[in-house]
């Protein structure tokens, strides 16, 4: 079981995590806007997440936190 958190206020919607994710389960949200006017990234399918942390490793804003059982 993986707990994958994206801090939506820190996220700048750059899309690097979307590109890096090997399972292609991240996307830039369309509806959400944070207080800085960015569309933050969001997890689409947590059950497919393998906690490889490729997203967290490429996130320039240290917005991703991952835990695993």
Which residues sit at the interface with other proteins, rule CB under 8 A? 2-3, 10, 12-16, 18-20, 38, 51-54, 56-62, 64-69
Contact call for residues 23 and 50 (beta carbons, < 8 A): yes
Question: What b-and-e string marks burial along 4-33, b requiring 16 or more CB atoms within 10 Å of the CB?
Answer: bebebebbbbbebbbebbeeebbbbbeeee
Nearer to other proteins among residue 24 and residue 57 (C-beta)? 57
Nearer to other proteins among residue 44 and residue 51 (C-beta)? 51
Nearer to other proteins among residue 45 and residue 60 (C-beta)? 60
């Amino acid at each position: 079981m993986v707990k994958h958190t994206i801090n939506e206020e820190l996220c700048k919607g750059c899309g690097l995590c979307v590109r890096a994710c090997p399972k292609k389960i991240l996307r830039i949200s369309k509806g959400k806007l944070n207080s800085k006017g960015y569309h933050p990234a969001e997890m689409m399918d947590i059950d497919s997440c393998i906690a490889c942390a490729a997203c967290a490793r490429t996130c320039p804003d240290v917005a991703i936190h991952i835990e695993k059982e």
